[in-house]
């Protein structure tokens, strides 16, 4: 998947992945996609709740070798 912006939050614990993602999202225009990388297991639930609350679109999320990848489309 092609992302317009990659936000690396590996090694950061909650709530920092969401805080960094929120700041990065402000730089995107509607329709653009942000990829967020995280090693925090709790970020899976955090991102699902955050996109629902902010009305953004979580295109997909996946886990690979302990790294969680979230693809968020700005609405």
Measured CA to CA, the distance from residue 61 to residue 18 in angstroms comes to 14
Q: Does residue 72 carry a catalytic annotation? A: no
Say what the pLDDT of residue 1 is: 81
> What pTM, to 2 d.p., does this model score?
0.94
> Would you state the pLDDT for residue 17?
96
- Which one from 3, 5, 12, 14 is the annotated catalytic residue? 14
Mean pLDDT throughout 46-73?
96
Query: What are the chain's domains?
Result: 5-69 (3.30.110.40)
Output the pLDDT for position 4: 98
Backbone angles phi, psi at 44, to 5 degrees: -60, -55
Percent of the chain with pLDDT over 70: 100
pLDDT in tens, 15-51: 999 999 999 999 999 999 999 999 999 999 999 999 9
């Amino acid at each position: 998947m092609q992302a317009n912006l990659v936000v690396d939050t590996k090694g950061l614990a909650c709530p920092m992945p969401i805080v960094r993602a929120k700041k990065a999202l402000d730089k995107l225009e509607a329709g653009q996609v942000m990829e967020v990388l995280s090693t925090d297991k709790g970020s899976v639930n955090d991102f699902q709740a955050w996109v629902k609350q902010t009305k953004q679109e979580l295109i997909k999320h996946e886990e690979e070798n302990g790294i969680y990848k979230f693809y968020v489309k700005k609405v």
